[in-house]
């Protein structure tokens, strides 16, 4: 069935794109537009054509369902459709509303005229996928809007509201009332006034000394996003628009697109984009699973995490009860929340009035009676099973039927916590990351008995509070921390072998991590890992660790909060300064274990750390703790500072090639200092490597 409806209003043909949700320009729609255009040319009574979109968009651009399929390139492709629009012998008016993005905007730029409703989002967002607009966007936009504005839109990818284009030539008219009526009236005016068939391609970019301006833009882009080639190519393409004839410019643009599609950076960004969409799909929980209404929430514990979690609810308009055992702790928690909001107000991100409004939505209490009617309660008390037990037994007794009982535990067994209640089906893990009001990631931990609608509700809630929800099964550390434990162990072994914390951190940060393992540990508090290790020494005595981290902790060097850890810190500063005391401690330790220090290359450091993540990730995938490799990548991109341009550990391993990953792991295992078990490839990794496959297919 055609996706472009054709209708004639007297002497005006209206072609309406109909491919929900956003009229993505898939094959059927493209063909429908061309068919409609031809029909309008053939029909003598038609004097002009209006092109518009049904529903929630003019057009959102390419149909992402077609990505990586032959239909994406099938003729008529978008370039052909735009050529047909330009060649139409009758004027074509684009009637734009709601969304005109990417290919949707390029399509409109191929029309002879454009009218728009206010409030429409206009964008060329391809750069966010590491690409550039490949159907003339970089060539035509600078011909109708000032060069700086066009460049900002193409390099930044962000939407601009239609009314902001007043005074430019992008829109011939803004239409306040009924868009279709206005567009048809405009088309009739064009015909009556014989205004002809103007084409954007025939215009010139109007900017004196464009070359100097573009060189300045190139320098800026190189400084802001040095890892990404796309923004640079966007500038180059706009330079072609300014300096070359249009057909040469179009060719240049297309050649850059083909080049960018191949770059690992674009592959990484596209992977992250699709990972985000895939994460909300749970194979045995259909999208139409009914969700429980969430109108009020409660948080138990107003400490580091509880306060941030409460802010998330309030920011999404959900009032929240905040419970503590002591008035003092409650007040301290509230004061922190207020300080956070006031800091935002100071930075101009919210008004003083909004601060008060949000604070009024936090209801502090010492009594469970006040929160028993909440739809969801998130527990964020001390990480101690006995404390959690009392809290969950109380929640079970007090909370209304059907309330979701969530725990923010980072290391404890969610199934055991669920078993403290008589309603384990209502219990789920919501593992927020610190600072909870800032970090995007939310690991949603599905217990053995968690009900499907509880999972569906929590995943939907994660979107409402603007988090990236990723499902994890129950295991020690869930997906993210279970993997990071191997990475941290490996980082410790490198100290045993001769590396310094600064060398390891530098190598990993050059690879693109926001922070190396030792700076990260100093930030989070070295005592946190110590506490977990001590439990492991009892529960899993066979697991080998470098003893260096314990030695650091024994000196009370817990990191930034104590002014010293793997580095030293000057009062009030977060700058990590290498400390000779640590060097001495490491040297002594190496002597004690009889290690001969050697120089470890940056490449070895990075691959030992990343492949430690990959091997554990493979095991997690095989056990079904993670639903898909891209979920693991998403967790690392949104919660652990893994470099976005590398797409996450699993995609990185795919790009290196699993065969090569296993080969390197074998070389690492041959190191006489290596823990022999560490580098044994997980069965899934070994199998995929042997079959020449990747985690992502």
Binding stretches for ligand NAD (CB under 6 A) = 300-306, 323-325, 329, 380-383, 387, 390-391, 408-410, 432, 434
Strand order in the sheet with 99-101: 99-101, 121-123, 160-161
Cβ-based nearer residue to ligand NAD, 267 or 430: 430
CA distances (Å), origin 379, targets 256, 303, 306: 51, 11, 8
CB neighbour list of residue 298: distance below 8 Å, 6 or more residues apart: 320, 321, 322, 323, 371, 374, 376, 377, 378
Q: Is 106 a catalytic residue?
A: yes
> Is the separation of the CB atoms in 503 and 586 below 8 Å?
no
| DSSP H or E stretch at residue 92 | strand 92-96
**3-state secondary structure (DSSP) of residue 392:** helix
**Whole-number minimum distance, CB 414 to ligand NAD, in Å?**
11
Q: Residue 224 or 366: which CB sits closer to ligand NAD?
A: 366
Give the nearer residue to ligand NAD in terms of CB position, either 66 or 383: 383
Name the residue number minimizing CB distance to ligand NAD: 303
The span from the CA of 462 to the CA of 54, in Å, is 30
Give the integer Cα–Cα distance in Å for 259 and 266: 10
Indicate the residue among 306 and 681 with the shorter CB distance to ligand NAD: 306
Catalytic position from the list 84, 86, 106, 497? 106
Q: Least Å distance between CB 328 and ligand NAD?
A: 9
Give the H/E segment covering residue 41.
helix 27-42
* 576-584, long-range: CB < 8 A, 24+ apart: 576/502, 576/505, 576/518, 576/519, 576/522, 578/500, 578/501, 578/502, 582/500, 582/501, 582/552, 583/500
279, 630 Cβ separation under 8 angstroms: yes
Closer CB to ligand NAD, 300 or 470, in the complex:
300
Residue 134 beta carbon to ligand NAD: minimum distance, rounded to whole angstroms: 43
CB of 410 to ligand NAD, least distance (A): 4
* Secondary structure string (H, E, C) spanning 565-598: CCCECCCCCCCCECCHHHHHHHHHHHHHHCCCCC
- Using alpha carbons only, what angle is made at residue 483 by residues 482 and 486, rounded to the nearest 5 degrees? 100
CB of 406 to ligand NAD, least distance (A): 11
Contacts for 375 with CB less than 8 Å, ≥ 6 apart:
292, 293, 294, 295, 296, 297, 402, 403, 404
- Closer CB to ligand NAD, residue 136 or residue 306? 306
* DSSP string for 135-190: SSHHHHHHHHS-HHHHHHHHHH---EEGGGGTTSSS-SEE--S-HHHHHHHHHHHH
Q: How far is the CB of 641 from ligand NAD (least distance, A)?
A: 14
Using CA atoms of 645, 648, 650, 655 in order, give the dihedral in degrees to the nearest 10.
Answer: 10
| Closest separation in Å from C-beta 436 to ligand NAD | 7
Q: In this complex, which beta carbon is closest to ligand NAD, that of residue 105 or of residue 406? A: 406
Exactly one of 126, 379, 443, 497 is catalytic; name it. 126
Provide, rounded to whole angstroms, the least separation between the CB of residue 573 and ligand NAD.
21
126 catalytic? Reply is yes
Toward ligand NAD, which CB reaches closer, 561 or 680? 561
Q: Return the active site residues.
A: 106, 126
């Amino acid at each position: 069935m055609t996706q472009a409806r054709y209708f004639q209003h007297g002497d005006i043909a209206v072609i309406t794109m109909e491919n929900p949700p956003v009229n993505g320009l898939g094959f059927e729609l493209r063909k429908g537009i061309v068919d409609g255009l031809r029909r309008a040319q053939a029909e003598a009574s038609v004097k002009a054509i209006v092109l518009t979109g049904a529903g929630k968009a003019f057009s959102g651009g390419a149909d992402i369902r077609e990505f990586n399929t032959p239909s994406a390139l099938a003729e008529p492709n978008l370039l052909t459709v735009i050529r047909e629009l330009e060649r139409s012998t009758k004027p074509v008016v684009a009637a734009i509303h709601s969304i005109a993005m990417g290919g949707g905007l390029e399509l409109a730029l191929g029309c002879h005229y454009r009218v728009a409703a206010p409030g429409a989002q206009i964008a060329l967002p391809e750069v966010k996928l590491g690409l550039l607009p490949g159907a003339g966007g970089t060539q035509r936009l600078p011909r109708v809007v000032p060069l700086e504005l066009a460049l900002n839109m193409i390099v930044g990818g962000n939407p601009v509201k239609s009314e902001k284009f007043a005074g430019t030539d992008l829109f011939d008219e803004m239409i306040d009332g009924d868009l279709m009526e206005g567009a048809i009236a405009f088309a009739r005016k064009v015909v009556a006034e014989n205004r002809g068939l103007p084409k954007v391609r025939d215009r010139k970019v109007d900017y004196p000394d464009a070359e100097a301006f573009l060189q300045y833009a190139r320098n800026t882009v190189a400084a802001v996003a040095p890892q990404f080639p796309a923004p640079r190519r966007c500038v180059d393409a706009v330079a072609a628009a300014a300096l070359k004839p249009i057909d040469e410019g179009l060719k240049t643009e297309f050649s850059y697109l083909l080049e960018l599609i191949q770059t690992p950076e674009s592959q990484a960004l596209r992977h992250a984009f699709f990972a985000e969409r895939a994460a909300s799909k749970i194979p045995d929980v259909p999208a139409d699973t009914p969700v429980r209404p969430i109108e009020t929430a409660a948080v138990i514990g107003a400490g580091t995490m509880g306060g941030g979690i409460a802010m998330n609810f309030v920011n999404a308009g959900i009032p929240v009860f905040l419970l503590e055992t002591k008035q003092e702790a409650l007040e301290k928690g509230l004061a922190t929340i207020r300080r956070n909001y006031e800091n935002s107000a100071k930075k101009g991100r919210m008004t003083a009035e909004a601060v008060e409004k949000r604070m009024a939505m936090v209801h502090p209490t010492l009594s469970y009676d006040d929160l028993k009617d909440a739809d969801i309660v998130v527990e964020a008390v001390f990480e101690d099973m006995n404390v959690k037990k009392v809290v969950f037994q109380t929640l079970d007794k007090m909370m209304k039927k059907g309330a979701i009982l969530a725990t923010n535990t980072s290391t404890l067994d969610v199934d055991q916590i669920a078993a403290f209640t008589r309603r384990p089906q209502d219990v789920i893990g919501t593992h927020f990351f610190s600072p909870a009001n800032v970090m995007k990631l939310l690991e949603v931990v599905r217990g053995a008995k968690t009900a499907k609608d509880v999972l569906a509700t929590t995943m939907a809630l994660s979107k409402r509070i603007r988090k990236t929800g990723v499902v994890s099964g129950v295991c020690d550390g869930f997906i993210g921390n279970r993997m990071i434990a191997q990475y941290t162990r490996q980082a410790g072994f490198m100290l045993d072998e001769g590396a310094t914390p600064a060398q390891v951190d530098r190598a990993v940060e050059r690879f693109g991590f926001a922070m190396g393992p030792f700076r990260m540990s100093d930030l989070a508090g070295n005592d946190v890992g110590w506490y977990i290790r001590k439990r492991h020494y009892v529960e899993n005595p066979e697991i080998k660790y470098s003893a260096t981290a314990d030695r650091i902790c024994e000196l009370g060097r817990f990191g930034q909060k104590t002014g010293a850890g793997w580095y030293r810190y000057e009062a009030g500063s977060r700058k990590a300064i290498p400390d000779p005391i640590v060097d001495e401690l490491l040297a002594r330790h190496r002597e004690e274990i009889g290690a001969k220090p050697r120089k470890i290359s940056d490449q070895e450091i990075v691959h030992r750390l990343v492949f430690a993540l990959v091997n554990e990730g493979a095991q997690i995938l095989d056990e079904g703790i993670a639903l898909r490799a891209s979920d693991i990548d998403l967790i690392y991109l949104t919660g652990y500072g893994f470099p976005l341009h590398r797409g996450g550990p699993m995609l990185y391993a795919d790009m290196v090639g699993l065969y090569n990953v296993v080969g390197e792991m074998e070389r690492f295992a041959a190191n006489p200092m290596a823990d022999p078990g560490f580098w044994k490839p997980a069965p899934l990794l070994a199998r995929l490597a042997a079959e020449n496959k990747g985690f992502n297919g």
